[in-house]
Amino acid sequence: MISQILFSLLLVFVFSKAYKSYSKIYRNINLGRPVKPFKNKDGLRNMVLIAFGQQKMFKRPIPAVLHLFIYVAFVITQFDLMEQIIDGLTGSHRVLSTWVGWFYPFMISFIEVLSVLAFIATIIFLARRNLLRIPRLNSKELKGWAKTDANLILLGEILLITGIFCLNGADKALEMNYPEKYHATGFFAINSWLGPMLFGHMPEYFLHVISGFGWWLHIFVVFGFILYLPTSKHLHILLAFPNTYLTQNDPRGRMTNIESIEAEVKGMLGLPPDPVVEETIADFGSHDIFQLTQKNLLEAYTCTECGRCTSVCPANITGKKLSPRKIMMDVRDRMQEVGKNLDNRAFTSQSGEIDNPISYNDGRDLFSYIDKEEIRACTTCNACVESCPVLINPLDIILQLRRYEVLTQSSGPSDWVPMYTALENGGSPWQMSSERDAWIKEI
């Protein structure tokens, strides 16, 4: 009874703490500009094929297969977790074995096989990050916490598998050594022979200790993961689904217009403006998270830091400072900084008032994280967007930052000045007259 009370209190604590953490993430995403409603007929298809089916991961088949082992093991293991939560609340043990019959040993066997595959994949991933030092997994933006974060999750996966095998192995040894006291739960693919081989010589008391250790280790790792997830790149486990669902299947490389400028041009041409246009816009482009869209901010939290975008970026490949992965990480870091300031009331408003989040000002913005040389290096080739396995669009954020620099700050490299002048005077970047093709009319 005491263990049930302790487990119930732990369960309430974990989920109440998690609710607060995930609510802050939701709050931070909503700091961005709302996205106009749109009909997304491909949203469900994107979510099933790309988030759930991991379709784009298989452009690199070896890491994709290894990641699939861990992903499927994570999903299927929820069957085991559900049973443990019921057992913890009711004081029972392997309650589902009496509820679902033959399906129970089938699922546990499936979990054990997947756990072995996930263990192999985890060891390989640890080696890739720490021994083989693959370039895209060891770039400078992954130094420090980013690398530690990846390693912690992989080590947690090993602890989780250890808990599963301790629990199943000790239980199978108990069933074999004391069949009159413990009901049979069926044949487990691995622990029906591995458990008795490792633990069969131990007395009953020690088998209970090992079984309890495996049970609690599994629970603590899972609960720790739930609380840790909001601070980790592995938040993509949850957010990849809404992000892929909300991604529009626009033509490749399409760039959106600035609404106020588009309305002005339409007015000059005598065309009817769009029905909904912001009446006043202080800035063109974006310089902080408040000017980015909520979809941009969702993408920043969804970023897996896999580096596929950076590894195909021609600017990065040729030695320039631009890294699309770093752009997404910087936006996320800025969101977290703003979120902490909002929680602590450590900011002033633009009007000088204290604690007014409507006109938030802490003296910093995205350019405190992102160097202008980075955004100027982008060629808008769309390679980063094409390579992302969860449909993140770093290019959109880069363009918004660059628009702010050029249109609002009237800034830019001196090499760009002749191009601006030519565009303004002749409508082309090559200092040629806008009527350069008039001779065609004479033919």
Burial status of residue 49 (CB atoms within 10 A of its CB: 0-12, 13-18, 19 or more): middle
Position 40 scores a pLDDT of 79
For residue 320, give every residue at least 6 positions away whose Cβ sits within 8 Å of its Cβ, in sequence order, or none.
373, 377
In this predicted model, what pLDDT tens digit does every residue of 373-392 receive, in sequence order?
999 999 999 999 999 999 99
- Considering the domain architecture, whether residues 275 and 237 belong to the same structural domain is answered as no
- Residue 439, in any domain of the structure: no
Tokens of 216: 């609690």
Structure tokens at 104: 């129970």
> Do 61 and 162 belong together in one domain?
yes
Q: What is the pLDDT of residue 262?
A: 78
User: How does pLDDT run across 172-220, given as a tens digit for each residue?
Assistant: 999 999 988 888 899 999 999 999 999 989 999 999 999 999 999 999 9
Residues 354, 335 within the same domain: yes
25 and 174 in a common domain? yes
pLDDT at residue 427, as a whole number: 74
- SS3 label, residue 255: coil
Locus of tokens 């802050």: 24
Name which of 21-30, 41-50, 266-275 the model is least confident about: 266-275
Condensed to tens digits (0 to 9), the pLDDT of residues 85-127 reads: 999 999 999 999 989 989 999 999 999 999 999 999 999 999 9
- Residue 189 DSSP label: T
Mean pLDDT of 73-85: 94
In this prediction, residue 356 has a pLDDT band, given cuts at 50, 70 and 90, of low
Residues 337 and 210 in one domain: no
Q: Are 13 and 162 found together in one domain? A: yes
Query: Looking at the predicted structure, is the pLDDT value of residue 279 above 70?
Result: no
Same domain, 56 and 116: yes
The pLDDT assigned to 440 comes to 81
Residue 149 has pLDDT above 70, yes or no: yes
User: Is 326 part of any domain?
Assistant: yes
pLDDT at residue 281 in the model = 53
Q: Are residues 157 and 275 in the same domain?
A: no
Q: What sign has the CA pseudo-torsion 373, 374, 375, 377?
A: positive
Angle at 62 between CA 58 and CA 67, to 5 degrees: 75
CA-closest candidate to residue 185, choices 103, 242, 307:
103
pTM: predicted TM-score of the whole model, two decimal places: 0.89
Residues 53, 130 within the same domain: yes
Q: 166 and 111 share a domain?
A: yes
Domain count, the chain: 3
Query: Residue 263 is encoded by which pair of tokens?
Result: 């309305």
The answer to which of 17-26, 113-122, 313-322, 426-435 has the lowest mean pLDDT is 426-435
Quick one: pLDDT at residue 350? 59
- Give Cβ neighbours of residue 434 (< 8 Å, ≥ 6 apart): 426, 427, 428
Q: Is the CB of residue 274 less than 8 Å from the CB of residue 262?
A: yes
Question: How sure is the predictor about 349, in pLDDT bands with cuts at 50, 70 and 90?
Answer: low
Does residue 73 lie in a domain region?
Answer: yes
Together in a domain, 274 and 366: no
What is the domain extent for residue 260?
Answer: 250-281
Task: Evaluate if residue 280 carries a pLDDT over 60.
Answer: no
| Same domain as 416, residue 396 | yes
Highest mean pLDDT of the ranges 83-87, 270-274, 282-286: 83-87
Strand partners, 349: 360
Q: Say how far apart CA 219 and CA 7 lie, in whole Å.
A: 10
